A = this chain, B = another copy of it.
Amino acid sequence: MRTLQVELGERSYPIYIGSGLLEKIGELSLEHGISAKSPHLIVTDERVAPHYLQMVEDRMAEAGFTTVSHVVPAGETSKSLAVFEQVMTTAIQGKLDRSSAVFALGGGVVGDLAGFVAATYMRGVTFVQIPTTILAHDSSVGGKVAVNHPLAKNMIGAFHQPVMVLYDVDTLSSLPARDVSAGLSEMVKHGLILDEEFAYWCRDHASELLALDPEALAYGLERGCAIKADVVSQDEREGGLRAILNLGHTIGHAIEAVGGYGRFLHGEAISIGMAGSALLAETLGRGNHLFEQTREMLSALNLPVVLPSDVSVDEIMDAMQHDKKFTEGRMVFIVPDQIGKVSIVNDVPVNAVRSVVEQLKKEG
């Protein structure tokens, strides 16, 4: 078992990564001071529940805990205020009190939803994350929790840190190949922004990662979490530095929106976005060969790096205007300087961005 400590003062917490960890959920909960006198809530989705819910409930019961469970439909639609209210109903009917904890058993959607419940139930209770996807290694560090508003994603949320993250790599074995690649997209992103060596490690170990080799996965997840934890420790509330984690996300979110949040997975969209950021660096005269190097890494992980020819450049440009990252009308982009190093560039001309999106499409 690997243990990574996320340093956030009195809100610091460990991420446990390894094989067979789900079996230890009861004893780890006791170790982390979760009260056996109060009932707790497990939130999961219909895809994860058949595999792991019973086991988590059983291990918790064996350790002396009372739990209630709430299973939401799989997918982004569960990040709504309506589903949020239903989970709250289960919490109230289960008589959760201020000493209770909310456990998120699942991927990013379940983590965001259950985390927002934990952040706001009785003005905040204990939160435990049990990620079951590779992508969730990203959302399990940083304390960002949220639900969607019909007009915009992640508009309603909070910062709420878990008391522990329990990452059992065995749970990843049931992931479809496309989700594996999409999850590795955020992993290699952490290399691209801050750790050249790790970025190349991801490329060189692509076949083991894609085959879900437990050793390679555990190392990759630990390194990805560690890089993100470093950034978050320095900027918990997203004042400045944390913005570098958005590499590829401005174009990526626009691609997701234009695809109706169904055509492209988040990791696929930001892969294309990261390729776009590399093109933008070249367009702005900030670097050479960056697109070629970035594309090679992403392609090794079976990730898309160009836009399909039927996607409209105008629609992508329009969707970008709604992005949260445009504070006070300025346009901000995260742009690579080299592999493993990025800059936050303010006032990027819209024309340069349009030219990049057009190139991404031409290549496709």
Contact = CB atoms under 8 A, between A and B. Distances in A.
Interface of A: 35, 37-38, 81, 84-85, 88-89, 92-93, 97-99, 119-124, 144, 146, 149-152, 155-159, 237-238, 324, 326-329
Copies of this chain, complex-wide, total 2
A37 B92 contact: no
Nearest to A146: B123
B328 A151 contact: no
Identify the 8 closest CB pairs spanning chains A and B, nearest first.
A37-B328, A123-B157, A92-B151, A120-B156, A97-B327, A81-B85, A88-B149, A123-B158
Contacts of A155: 88, 92, 121-122
Given A85-B149, A97-B326, 20 more contacts: A35-B328, A37-B328, A37-B329, A38-B328, A81-B81, A81-B84, A88-B155, A89-B150, A92-B152, A93-B151, A97-B328, A98-B324, A99-B327, A119-B158, A120-B120, A120-B157, A122-B157, A123-B144, A123-B157, A124-B158
Nearest to A328: B37
Contacts of A151: 89, 92-93
Contacts of A149: 85, 88-89, 92
A149 B89 CA distance: 8
Contacts of A93: 151
Contacts of A124: 158-159, 237
A151 B88 CA distance: 10
A320 B38 CA distance: 18
A89 B238 CA distance: 23
A124 to B, nearest CB: 7
A97 B326 CA distance: 8
A176 to B, nearest CB: 31
A120 B158 contact: yes
A150 to B, nearest CB: 8
Contacts of A35: 328
16 contacts: A37-B329, A81-B84, A89-B150, A92-B151, A92-B152, A97-B326, A97-B327, A98-B324, A120-B156, A120-B158, A121-B156, A122-B324, A123-B144, A123-B158, A123-B238, A124-B159
Nearest to A97: B327
A38 B324 CA distance: 13
A102 to B, nearest CB: 13
Contact of A158 (B84, B89, B158, B329): B158
A99 B328 contact: yes
Contacts of A327: 38, 97-99
Nearest to A324: B122
A324 B100 CA distance: 12
Contacts of A97: 324, 326-328
